[in-house]
Structures are given as structure tokens and as C-alpha cells.
Amino acid sequence: METVLEVRGARHDYGATRALDGVDLDVGAGECVALLGPNGAGKTTLVNLVVGLLPAKEGRIRVCGGDPRVAATRRRLGVVQQSLGFPTTLKVGELVTGAAVRAGVPRSAAGPVLAELDLTDLAGRRAVKLSGGQRQRLQLAMALVADPRLLVLDEPTAGLDLTARRRFWQLLAQRRERGTGVLLTTHLVEESSAVADRVVVLGRGRVLASGTPDELVARLPDRTVIARTALGRTRLEALPGVVSVRADGEHVHLGTRAPEALLRVLLAEDPGLADLRVESAGLAEAVAGLVERGAA
């Protein structure tokens, strides 16, 4: 498989803070790699290096073999990044055409991309009038108009409802079939397990683990204990081996490395415990476990 992104030994410091500490990562053509990790793990820093917004002080970043700080390489790169924003007073069609011109492709490339992203009917509307989901599709259209080989998506579905999210991933799947590689950051771990071929877990600027979602889950002996309990979050977080606490309606999902000990304490402390079941850990619990081990 052709490699569209190669990161080797990437290091980055902000003053005395080491944000990245020797990161290696590859994305192949048509592949989707999700970058996961807690706040401050280094995800945004890595994305900024990959899209050429920050210089690599140490290490090597190559997009389709070229340096992303060079304009010719950046043309092979599409970016959807919350912080970039765009002039919302312009019309949808003008923005996509402008993105085509900036990328050095014919203005006529805008029409097919607008159609692909269900934006044709909105081409004459000012971007400021768009809904969140429509705005996200516009950003994607601007990123895709030059037919990039690598697409970098920073929290692309934040704030979108389920239908808009599904549509977003469908559109992306079509591009992936044509060979576009995707690097994605998200806090929605379960979503990444549905859309990503591979997951890379960052913690304190290092790669803690990388593999398919199933491989990461299989690597850990962790379990998810699910129950209805009267115990509060603070107490639950302090129970044996607990690495994650997630509320789901009336139930709570506890990722744990010590399921037997956890069950003993839960049963002893909460006489009203109900609907108890134990499952293999999901990706969210596995990632929480990896981060906890990485910090240990």
C-alpha cells in the first residue's frame, strides 16, 4: 500500500513542555487512522505538524513524500480543523471555488464536489446561514476540492447529530475507496472504532499503542462491569482497578483491570446493586486502560 503520511521520530516542545516525544505514524492510501488520547496527549500538536502549521523541530514528516511546509506538498493535503474557520460572509459556492483556486485546480472542480456533498442547492447561500452539519460539509468540500491524497480531520463530527455524522462518514468512505488516506482525531472513541482501520493511542506525547480496534481490545485483560448503582462517580472511580466510568442512562459502565475485586466491593457497598453484568472491554475502556498504564 502506498504511504500518504509518514511520521518518524516527531518531537515538539513548547518552551519547557515536551508535547511530542518521538512519535512514529503511517497512513496508507485509502486507510483511516484515528488518533486517540486524553487532553494534552499531543494530538493537536501532531496534527499541526502534519498540516505544516508547525515546523518539525526534530524528526521527519512526509506527506506523499514531501515536506508539508512546502506549498506544493500542501496541495496534496485536505484539512478540516475547527480552529481554521473561514469567512462566513461569503457564499458556499464562492468558498469552494476559492479553495479550488488557492489549491491551483480549475474553478470547474467546485461543481462536482458541491454535488458530492449535497451542497448544490446551498451554493448561493452565505456560509453564516448554514447549520452546523451543513457548515461541516462545506469545510469538507473545501478540503476535498483539490482531490487530496491525505485528509486530516480534527474532531470533524463534534456537535453533529447522529444522522449528520453518518452522512459525513459515508461521504468520506467514497473518497477512501478512491485512495484518499485519512488521519482523524476524535474524542468519540466508539465512533473511531466504527470508522477507523487503525487506532493510535497517544499519551504524554508518546505512542502508547497502535493497532486495529479489535487488536487493542484483545491486548488487555480489562472488562467492563455494567450495573445500576447508587454509588457516586467519585466513589466508583476509586474502586479496584477502575480506569473509566461512563454513564449510560440508568446504568454505569466501569472499565476495570480487576473485575473480580471490583465486583466484591460493589456488592458489599451497594445493597441495591441491580442489572449487573460483565462484558469484554470496549475500545473506550481499552483506551482508558492503555492511558492509565502509560501514566503509571
Ligand X SMILES: Nc1ncnc2c1ncn2[C@@H]1O[C@H](COP(=O)(O)OP(=O)(O)OP(=O)(O)O)[C@@H](O)[C@H]1O
Contact residues toward ligand X (CB under 6 A) are 14, 17, 19, 37, 39-45
State the nearest-atom distance from the C-beta of 154 to ligand X, in Å: 8
200 within 8 A of 207, measured Cβ to Cβ? yes
CB of 160 to ligand X, least distance (A): 18
Smallest distance, Å, CB 199 to ligand X? 14
Q: What is the 3-state secondary structure (H, E, C) of 235-284?
A: HHHCCCCEEEEEEECCEEEEEECCHHHHHHHHHHHCCCCEEEEEEECCHH
- Chain mean position to CA 265: 35
Q: What is the chain written as a DSSP string?
A: --EEEEEEEEEEEETTEEEEEEEEEEEETT-EEEEE--TTSSHHHHHHHHTTSS--SEEEEEETTB-TTSHHHHTTEEEEETTT---TTSBHHHHHHHHHHHTTS-GGGHHHHHHHTT-GGGTTSBGGGS-HHHHHHHHHHHHHTT--SEEEEESTTTT--HHHHHHHHHHHHHHHHTT-EEEEE-S-HHHHHHH-SEEEEEETTEEEEEE-HHHHHHH---EEEEEE----HHHHHTSTTEEEEEEETTEEEEEES-HHHHHHHHHHH-TT-EEEEEEE--HHHHHHHHHHHHH-
